[in-house]
Amino acid sequence: MSKEKVVLAYSGGLDTTAIIPWLKETFGYDVVCCCIDCGQGEELDGLDERAKLSGASKLYIENIVDDFCDNYIVPCVKAGAVYENKYLLGTSMARPAIAKKLVEVARKEGAVAICHGATGKGNDQIRFELGIKALAPDIKIIAPWRMTDVWTMQSREDEIEYCRQHGIDLPFDAQHSYSRDRNLWHISHEGLELEDPANEPNYDDLLVLGVTPEKAPDKGEYVTMTFEAGVPKSVNGKEMKVSDIIKELNALGGKHGIGIIDIVENRVVGMKSRGVYETPGGTILMEAHRQLEELVLDRATYEVKKDLGNKFAQIVYEGKWFTPLREAIQAFMDVTQQYVTGEVKFKLYKGNIIRAGETSPYSLYSESLASFTTGDLYDHHDADGFINLFGLPLKVRAMKMQELKNQKQS
């Protein structure tokens, strides 16, 4: 009789490597590893050998970079989705894309369970599991770090020793480094000196995608981008798919110290956590998109979009991607983006994105209206009546207060 299969979300790191023999020993499962490439680069080198050596029966390496960019990043850019004013959702956006691919592999393999290595304190366990529950309610979820009765390892040393006992001698050391998550959009850093909000980040050790503004070139660099219906189409005159645009902007942003944020954020599970995020290309892309929207969107739409953008960010942060609410807000955003088409120019200089002009065939900016000369569309006398009506509630209230004050005094 063949063993039941489990699909393990595999990164090749120490945690998920130790989980392979643990799953076999604890549950008797046949372990199918699934490594999902969202643009994390050289982290994927040598995974095949490592997974097999650790006892996996099979390893899938699934490249979802374009799916991640087109179907997760672009909707968030269109929505202007930023969590708590700073975080551009790098990890949050990738998790539903990963969950979807894990479910696909589990279905293909006929697996009864999916296992992930996310801790019991973080947001990722929620994002993975809400995605799996929404797409495959019948598949069991295994989260070793929450199963403290059977998962007894408490430290990197414990995991290294466990691997050794199982004949897995791998190039891991017990030294604790930053806890990082990387994909095409960003890299996050937690741990070490960042665990105390009183400490300044040690940027020289920390940064991976770029440099601090102090170390950026002394000369600024102009960049031109185009958008069509809210989707980025070109950088400096070169048309590219979205993933290549993000790569290009990452290189430019990293060079000029763009997109480094230090944040104390509120996790879904209720605690505050401190992290540093590097999102060089994403920061430029969001800012360029916002720059064009200012020209094209009317005031009322812009106002509602801002509120729904915050809501969208919260939905994504909380792992509720596969929900009717996310779909509904995304549909609203798509309508707002119909005319977000045009060209944006800006200068990158020492951590700053400095506006240098924008044009759109759908621009609502009227030079004759905005200038100080009187045009046909605007009669200054009309402002009298408008201000009288617009200010009427204030005036009525002030008159009432005055009346009451006079009564008290008399």
Catalytic residues: 15, 95, 124, 179
What residues form DSSP beta bridges with 187?
A: 182, 278
Cβ neighbours around 145 below 10 Å, total: 17
Token digits of residue 70: 């087109």
Q: Which ranges constitute the DSSP H helices of 28-155?
A: 47-53, 65-68, 74-79, 90-109, 124-135
Q: Are 81 and 316 in contact (CB under 8 A)?
A: yes
**CA–CA separation, 196 and 53 (whole Å):** 38
Judged by phi (left if over 0) then psi (alpha if -120 to 50, else beta), residue 137 lies in alpha
Q: How far is CA 270 from the centre of its chain?
A: 19
For residue 376, CA distances in Å to 32, 206, 384 come to 71, 58, 17
Q: Which long-range contacts (CB under 8 A, 24 or more apart) does 161-168 make?
A: 162/18, 162/21, 162/22, 163/14, 163/17, 163/18, 163/21, 163/54, 166/21, 166/54, 166/55, 168/17, 168/21, 168/53, 168/54, 168/55
Burial 328-347 (b: 16+ CB within 10 A, else e): ebbeebeebbebbbbbbbbe
- Pairing type for strands 231-235 and 352-359 reads unpaired
SS3 134: helix
CB-CB contact of 110 with 303 (8 Å): no
Task: Measure the CA–CA gap between 71 and 321, rounded to whole angstroms.
Answer: 11
Residues 132/114, Cβ–Cβ less than 8 Å: yes
